[in-house]
Amino acid sequence: MGKRVLVTGGAGFLGSHLCDRLIAEGNDVICLDNLFTGNKNNIRHLIGHPYFEFIRHDVIEPIHLEVDQIYNLACPASPVHYQYNPIKTTKTSVLGAINMLGLAKRVHARILQASTSEVYGDPEVHPQPESYRGCVNTIGIRSCYDEGKRVAETLFFDYHRQNHVDIKVMRIFNTYGPNMHPNDGRVVSNFIVQALQGKDITVYGDGSQTRSFCYVDDLIEGMVRLMNSRDGFTGPVNIGNPGEFTILQLAEMVIKLTGSSSKIIFEPLPSDDPLQRKPVIDLAKKELGWEPTIPLEEGLKKTIEYFKLIV
C-alpha cells in the first residue's frame, strides 16, 4: 500500500521529479512549497490527481499534517537564489528543519534531509568522503546556505538522539536535468541557455575548478532508496556522480552538443567558489546498492532537449 508522503520544496527542480516518482509508485503525496524558486508548471500535470495535493506554505511557519514520510527539500539551491535574501535562506534551512523535525516527532514520520556537498565547503580533502568535516567560511556570501545546511544536519542528529526521530541525511552533489530554472544561474542551466540563444558562455575564473554532475533521475533513485533504507541507517550519505569535470570542459561539451556558435568568455570567480568537488560514494553503494548510471554527455543531451522547449 502507498504511504502518505510530504515533499517540502516539491514544486522545485528536484522536488517535482520526486513527486512524479512517488505518485507513479502509488503514494499519497502532499507537495508543500512557497513558490519562491519553484513553479506550479513543474507540477501542473499532477494537479487534479486524486493522490496529489499542493499546499502553498512557508516552512519557516509550523504546520500540522498526518504523514508517514517527509522529504525536506525546501530551500533555494542556486547561489543566485540563496544569496538574494541570505537571512531568509538561513531561516528556511534552520527553522524549516526545526518545524519539519517537530512534525516528524509528533506524527512518528521518517524524515529525509536534502543536505548538500556544500557542507564540505572549499574542501582540502579530495575526493570527499562523509567523514570529512569540511572547510566552510562562516562569514562569506555562501555561508547562509552552507552553514544553514550544516546546522540543519546538527538538528537532524539532535532530534534523533534526543527524541528518537527516524532520520536520513543525504548530501547531494551538483545535480542537473529538466525542470531546472532557466535563470537560476547554475552552471549547467546557464551554459545550455547561453548556447541555445547564441550568447557568450560565461566561465567564471579560468574554468579549472571542478564539479561532479549527477543526472536528476539517478539522484531521485538514490533519494528514494535512502528514505526506504534499513532501520537505524541515518547517513549522512553522499549521493552524486563521481565523474569529475572542469567547468571549461563542461562549457566545451555544451557547445559541442548544442552545435552552438557561442564563444567562451571569462568572468571573475565569485568569492568562496570551491575549487574542486567529487563525492566518494562507497557508502551509498554498500548501504543502498546505488550508483549513478547516466554519463554526463547523455544527461546533457536530455537536458538540452528540455531547454529547447522553454527558451
Q: Does 30 bind ligand NAD (CB under 6 A)?
A: no
Q: Cα–Cα distance between 101 and 98 in angstroms, integer? A: 5
Q: Is 237 in the site for ligand NAD (CB under 6 A)?
A: no
Q: What are the backbone angles phi and psi of residue 199, rounded to the nearest 5°? A: -90, 165
Picked from ligand UDP, ligand NAD, none, the partner binding residue 116 (CB below 5 to 8 A depending on kind) is ligand NAD
Stretch that binds ligand NAD, among 12-20, 102-110, 257-265, 267-275 (CB under 6 A): 12-20
Q: Which residues bind ligand UDP (CB under 6 A)?
A: 78-79, 174, 185-187, 190, 202-204, 209, 211, 247, 269-270, 273
Q: Does 14 bind ligand NAD (CB under 6 A)?
A: yes
What is the identity of the amino acid at 311?
A: V
Closest approach of ligand UDP to the CB of residue 250, in Å: 8
* One of 5, 6, 7, 12 touching ligand NAD (CB under 6 A): 12
Cα dihedral 139→77→300→193 (10° resolution): -90
What is the radius of gyration, based on Cα positions, of the chain? 19
Any idea what DSSP says for residue 166?
-
Instruction: Provide the minimum distance between the beta carbon of 30 and ligand NAD in the complex, in angstroms, as a whole number.
Output: 12
Active-site residue among 145, 159, 176, 215? 145
**Pick from ligand NAD, ligand UDP, none: which does 202 bind, CB < 5 to 8 A by kind?**
ligand UDP
From residue 64, how far is each of 18, 61, 101, 131, 222 by CA, in Å? 22, 10, 12, 35, 28
Bridge pairing between strands 167-172 and 175-176: unpaired
Query: Which amino acid is residue 290, in one-letter code?
Result: W
Q: Decide if residue 37 touches ligand NAD (CB under 6 A).
A: yes
- Is 120 tagged catalytic? no
Stretch that binds ligand NAD, among 10-18, 190-198, 255-263, 290-298 (CB under 6 A): 10-18
For ligand NAD, the closer of residues 71 and 262 by Cβ is 71
- Does residue 113 contact residue 170 with C-beta atoms inside 8 Å? yes
What are the cell numbers at 216? 536528476
Kind of pairing, strands 244-246 and 210-212? antiparallel
Site for ligand NAD in 104-163 (CB under 6 A): 114, 116
* Active site residue ranges: 145
